[in-house]
Structure 1
Amino acid sequence: MDRSAQLYERDATGWQRGMYEDIETTFRALIVNWFFRTLTANEPAFARYMWGQLKPLFQTRAFGDYTVSYRDAVLSALEDGSADPPRYRRADLEVQPAEWRELRGQLATFDIVAPRLALAFAVCDRTMNGDPLEADLDDAASTAPLPPWLDRDRGRSVTMIDAGGVPDDLSDTIDDIRDFHGLEGGLPSIYRCLAQWPGYLEPAWTDLEPILESAAFERGCDDADAVIDAHLAELPYAPRLSPTALADRGFDESTIEELRDFVRSFNRGAIETVLPAIAIYAATLDAAGERSL
């Protein structure tokens, strides 16, 4: 598993291009995450099978309830803990009008995709690492369709700086960000995106660092995890991603072990604070989505 190998959207052809389009359409977000790009580059047969198993989970009203509850869990913890994030107007920042629209639109895309990725990582980790999930059709929301308006058409296609291409005037800020999240490898996509606008990221990090280091944010992360756990206990469909199921599909033991380690790495460590922080960045620009249905 070469973790530096990725199949980008621009290079995808055939069924891989179709799957990327399906991910974007299903997620209602114009981005295919590094998780999917790396799996498609390294283990395309698994990526296609995995997506077929995951896709139904993102298409119900219960899932929509989960996404807004995840976002609300993070933001409510800050508001309840007197650590409410700042709200910026364009005039507060060194950002031009066209840049302002692009920044807010791209940040909205990350705000849409964050709870979806959190669920995808949790489902893959648990099912592939010995914690099988059971389907529990408890009420109509479990099988009702996802509301067509939810998160629809509010984000923009994402652009990012090249890996290692951090502007010099942001180097100290990025170092602080790495220290806070415990980042050892590459910079997460959200920060590679926001680094395009130093006039936003530098003052935002200055204001948000003490908030992200607060007990209120820690509580928000715990509450978001609890929302994930509650949703996983009431899934309408149990994906077949266990090691036994993968072996039945023809994947060999060494490949399965590598895949298990790979998905676990996405559900542990820095991601536990990176994804919840996205809702806070979005809130600073009034780009966060709904918090209830």
Structure 2
Amino acid sequence: MDRSKQLYEQDATDWQRGMYEDIKTTFRAPIVNWYFRSLTANEPAFTRYLWGQLKPLFQTRAFGRYAVSYRDTVLSAIEDGPADLPRYRRADTALRPAEWRELRGQLATFDVVAPRLALTFAVCDRAMHGDLPDANPEGAPSTAPLPPWLDRDRGQSVTMLEAGDVPGDLSETVDEIRAFHGLEEGLPSIYRCLAQWPGYLEPAWTDLEPILESEAFERGCRDADAVVDGHLEELPYTPRLSPNDLAEQGFDDETIDDIQHYVRAFNRGAVSKVLQTIVTYAATLDAGGERSL
């Protein structure tokens, strides 16, 4: 798996283009994450099979309840801590009105996607390592449809800087962000997006860094992981993604091993804490979604 190899939306054709449209429609956000772009570029047949197994997981009322709980869990832990979460108005950032709308709209898109990616990473990693609990749906929400209004039409299409294009005056901030997330190189998508607006990212990081390094945020991350684990116990069905399931679909051992390492890197690495910071950034601009259902 070459994680730098990606099939971007503008280059997708045929069934891959259709699958990307389906991912965006199902996730209710105008973005196809790097996770799927890289999988599609490296293992297209597997990605088509994977999406067929994953899609229904995002279409139940129980999923909606999970998504808002994930968001609320992170923010509630911070709110219970000693420091207040900063809140910004446009005047605090010196951004023009159009820039302010764009920033909030793109951050809202990440906020929509964050709990969906957290579930994707957990399901793929645990299923492909034989550690996913058997489906045990309880109550109507486990199989009832996702409310059509939830997270609908909240975000805007996302634009990002290349890692090498980050403004020089943000270099110190970027170094601190990498250190916090334990990244030796590269920069997660959310930061390459926010770096387009140094007038927001620099003061936001200065204000948020002590909060993100606090026990309150650590507790929020642990509690959010527990929300994911709890939702896995009530999935409407068990995705067929175990090594044996994949072998029955004709995938060879080398491919399965490569994909196992790929999905674990997302679920167990630095990316997981990035998802919780997304929720935090969105809240600073009042660009976050519902916190209860």
Counterpart CA distance in 2 for 1:149 and 1:140 is 19
Q: Is the 8 A contact 1:108 1:289 kept in 2?
A: yes
Greater shift after overlay, 230-239 or 79-88?
79-88
**CA-CA distance at 1:136 after TM superposition:** 1.1
Which range moved further: 270-279 or 194-203?
270-279
| Partner of residue 25, structure 1 | 25
Query: Shift of residue 133 of structure 1?
Result: 2.8
Is the contact between residue 9 and residue 17 of structure 1 (CA under 8 Å) also seen in structure 2?
yes
Q: For residues 44-68 of structure 1, what are the alpha-carbon distances to aligned partners after superposition, in whole Å with 9 as ceiling and x for unaligned?
A: 0000000000000000000000000
Query: Match of 1:267, SS?
Result: helix
C-alpha distance in 1 between matches for 2:83 and 2:159: 30
1:35 correspondence with 2:30: no
The one-character-per-residue Cα deviations of 1:132-186 (angstroms, maximum 9, x if unpaired) are 3311120000010000000001100000001321111111100000000001242
CA contact (8 A) 2:161 2:192 kept: yes
Distance 1:83 1:130 in 2: 41
Between the aligned partners of 1:238 and 1:192, the Cα distance in structure 2 is 35
In the TM superposition, residue 130 of structure 1 has moved relative to its aligned partner by 2.2
Q: Is the 8 A contact 2:124 2:263 kept in 1?
A: yes
Range moving further from structure 2, 82-91 or 232-241: 82-91
Aligned partner of 2:75 in structure 1 is 75
Give me the whole-angstrom Cα distance separating, in 1, the residues matched to 2:143 and 2:2: 38
For residue 281 of structure 1, what is the aligned residue in structure 2? 281
Q: CA deviation at 1:129?
A: 1.1
Tell me which amino acid in the other structure corresponds to 1:159. Answer: T
* 1:249 aligned onto 2:271: no
- Post-superposition Cα deviations, 1:6-25, rounded to whole Å, max 9, x if no partner, equal 00001000000000000000
RMSD over aligned Cα atoms:
0.7
Alignment map for 1:48-197 (pairs within 5 Å) = 48-197=48-197
Asked whether the 8 Å contact 1:71–1:115 carries over to 2, the reply is: yes
Separation in 2 of the partners of 1:237 and 1:164?
43
Report the TM-score, using the length of structure 1 for normalisation.
0.99
Letter in 2 for 1:280: T
Looking at structure 2, the residues matched to 243 and 165 of structure 1 have their Cα atoms a distance apart, in angstroms, of 40
Query: Matched residues, percent identical?
Result: 77
Moved more, 182-191 or 69-78: 182-191
SS where residue 164 of structure 1 aligns?
helix
- On the 8 A contact 2:64/2:146 being kept in 1, the answer is yes
| Structure 2 counterpart of 1:93, one-letter code | T
Distance 1:118 1:62 in 2: 15
- The 1-side partners of 2:163 and 2:37 are apart by 15
Aligned AA (1:223): D
* Alignment partners' CA distance in 1, 2:84 and 2:10: 39
2:218 aligns with 218
**Structure 1 segments of 4 or more deviating over 6 A?**
none
Structure 1, 184-193 or 106-115: larger mean CA deviation: 184-193
TM-score, with structure 2 as normaliser: 0.99
The CA deviation at 1:271 is 1.4
SS in 1 for 2:180: helix
Contact 1:83-1:216 at 8 Å conserved across structures: no
For structure 2, the 5+ residue unaligned runs are none
Which residue identity is paired with 1:5? Answer: K
In the alignment of these two chains, the number of paired residues is 293
Q: CA deviation at 1:94?
A: 2.0
